[in-house]
Chain A
Amino acid sequence: MSNELLKIKNLSTSFRIGDEYYAAVDDVTLTLNKNEVLGIVGESGSGKSALAFSIMRLHTRAKIEGEILLNNQNIVKMSTSKLNKIRGDEMAMIFQDPLTALNPLMPIGRQIEENLFLHNKKLGQQGRKKRTIELLNLVGIPRPERVYEQFPHELSGGMRQRIIIAIAIANDPELLIADEPTTALDVTIQAQILDLVRELKEKIHAGIILITHDLGVVAEMADRVAVMYAGQIVEIAPVDKLFANPLHPYTRSLLNSVPAEGQDRLHVIQGVVPTLKNLPRTGCRFAERIPWIDASHHEEHPELHEVESGHFVRCTCYEHFYFPDNKEEQANGVS
Chain B
Amino acid sequence: MWKFIVRRLLITIPQIIILSIIVFILAQMMPGDALSGLIDPSIDPAAVEQQRERLGLNNPWYIQYVDWVGGILQGDFGQSFRFKMPVTELIGQRMVNTVLLSVVTLIFTYLIALPLGLISGRFNDTLLDQAITGYTYIGFATPLFIFSLFMLWIFGYNLGWFPTSGSVAPGTEPGTIAYWLSKVYHALLPGISIALIQVVSTVQYLRSEIIDTKQKDFIITARAKGAGEQRVYNKHIFRNSLLPIAAFFGWEITTLITGTVFVEKIFSYPGMGLLFLESITQRDFSVANSLVLLFGTAQIMGALLSDIILSIVDPRIRIK
**Chain A residues close to B by CB (< 8 Å):** 56, 58, 80-81, 83-89, 92-93, 95, 97, 100-107, 111, 114-115, 118-119, 151, 153-154, 164, 167-168
Contact = CB atoms under 8 A, between A and B. Distances in A.
A310 to B, nearest CB: 30
B225 A95 contact: no
A332 B137 CA distance: 65
B228 to A, nearest CB: 5
Main secondary structure of the interface of B (DSSP, over half): helix
B228 A84 contact: yes
A104 B218 contact: yes
B222 A103 contact: yes
Given A104-B218, A118-B226, 10 more contacts: A84-B228, A87-B224, A92-B224, A93-B224, A101-B218, A103-B240, A115-B225, A151-B316, A154-B319, A167-B221
Contacts of A86: 226
Interface of B: 216-218, 220-229, 231, 235-236, 239-240, 243, 314-316, 319
B211 to A, nearest CB: 13
B223 A105 contact: no
Contacts of A56: 224
Contacts of A115: 225-226
Contacts of A106: 235-236
A101 B217 contact: yes
Given A88-B224, A115-B225, A105 B239 contact: yes
Contacts of B222: 103, 114
Contacts of A92: 224-225
A87 B221 contact: no
Nearest to A85: B226
A84 B218 CA distance: 16
In the A-B complex, list the 10 residue pairs whose CB atoms are closest, starting with the nearest.
A88-B226, A88-B225, A87-B226, A100-B217, A151-B315, A84-B226, A115-B225, A103-B218, A101-B217, A93-B224
Contacts of A101: 217-218, 220-221
Contacts of A103: 218, 221-222, 236, 240
Contacts of A100: 216-218
A56 B227 CA distance: 13
A166 to B, nearest CB: 12
Contact of A84 (B220, B227, B239, B240): B227
Contacts of B240: 103-105
Contacts, number: 79
A85 B223 CA distance: 11
A102 B221 contact: yes
A307 B319 CA distance: 60
A89 B224 contact: no
Nearest to B239: A105
Contact of A151 (B218, B229, B319): B319
12 contacts: A80-B229, A87-B223, A87-B226, A88-B224, A89-B226, A93-B224, A100-B216, A103-B221, A105-B240, A114-B227, A154-B319, A167-B221
A58 B227 contact: no
Contacts of A83: 226
Nearest to B217: A100
Contacts of B220: 58, 95, 101
Nearest to B236: A103
Contacts of B319: 151, 153-154
Given A105-B240, A105-B314, A151-B319, A114 B217 contact: no
Contacts of B221: 95, 101-103, 111, 164, 167
A178 B216 CA distance: 19
B26 to A, nearest CB: 44
Nearest to A86: B226
A76 B226 CA distance: 15
A95 B228 contact: no
A228 to B, nearest CB: 21
Nearest to B243: A105
Nearest to A170: B225
Contacts of A104: 218, 240, 315-316
Contacts of B315: 104-105, 107, 151, 153
A153 B316 contact: yes
B225 A167 contact: yes
Contacts of A97: 217
Contacts of B314: 105
B1 to A, nearest CB: 13
Nearest to B318: A151
